[in-house]
Structure 1
Amino acid sequence: MTDNQQHSRTCPECGITFSCSANRQCWCMDMPALLPLDSSSNSGACYCQRCLSKRVAAQLERLIASKPHTEVLAKAALYRTQSSAKQGLLEYIDYHPKSEQLTAWYHLKRGYCCNNNCQHCPYPVDQD
């Protein structure tokens, strides 16, 4: 098998057929590495981009809710980029597609609170 060979896969969640290169060039390599995503019987399956994004986003929400702020901030720093352009954002992971509101994970990747009272701001509120 060559590095650029595509494989046809069927998403076990939505049933859509999609292409996967099953290597480092695959689109899924842009996702935060948070395995296992869940304990379902399909946890080793190959999901389409939308379904995998939803699963990763749910895992990120659990991580943010259950781990100390410094720990999730350090993990998010691994995925920080200089670009703030929407083209580099991942649906469900960095923003909610219907409302286009930025997620807590996006704010953590940014690395600081912008003090704009964002709905999903994960930064602790200063107690004066």
Structure 2
Amino acid sequence: MSDAQPCPRCGQAVACGMHDPSGKPCWCTAFPASLPVPAADAGAGCYCADCLRAVIAEQALRQAEKPG
């Protein structure tokens, strides 16, 4: 895994597996595909598992609240 970076939401260290030389998928692939994965050079950070879980839940709630 790559070096740990801070989660942009809570600051907890997150080890992103996007460029893991083993070829194994990143741990985040176990979550529903609901957010775009930032480009490695975009300067965006990965959420930690707890924050990613919360962001997905918040998105689902917003979708459920939309009229229509």
Distance 1:29-1:64 versus aligned 2 partners, 3 A rule: same
Higher Cα Rg, which structure: 1
The whole-number CA distance in structure 1 between the counterparts of 2:50 and 2:34 is 16
| CA drift at 1:18 | 2.2
Deviations 1:36-89 (A, max 9, x none): 6xxxxxxx4311111111011100111122276xxxxxxxxxxxxxxxxxxxxx
Question: What corresponds to 1:59 in structure 2?
Answer: 59
2:7 pairs, out of 8, 11, 18, with 11
* TM-score (normalizing by structure 2): 0.64
The whole-number CA distance in structure 2 between the counterparts of 1:67 and 1:21 is 37
The whole-number CA distance in structure 1 between the counterparts of 2:34 and 2:14 is 22
Q: CA RMSD in A?
A: 2.2
| CA drift at 1:34 | 1.8
* TM-score (normalizing by structure 1): 0.37
Q: How many residues align?
A: 56
3-state SS, counterpart of residue 64 of structure 2: helix
* 4+ residue runs over 3 A deviation: none
2:17 pairs, out of 21, 32, 35, with 21
Q: Unmatched 5+ residue regions in structure 1?
A: 1-5, 37-43, 69-128
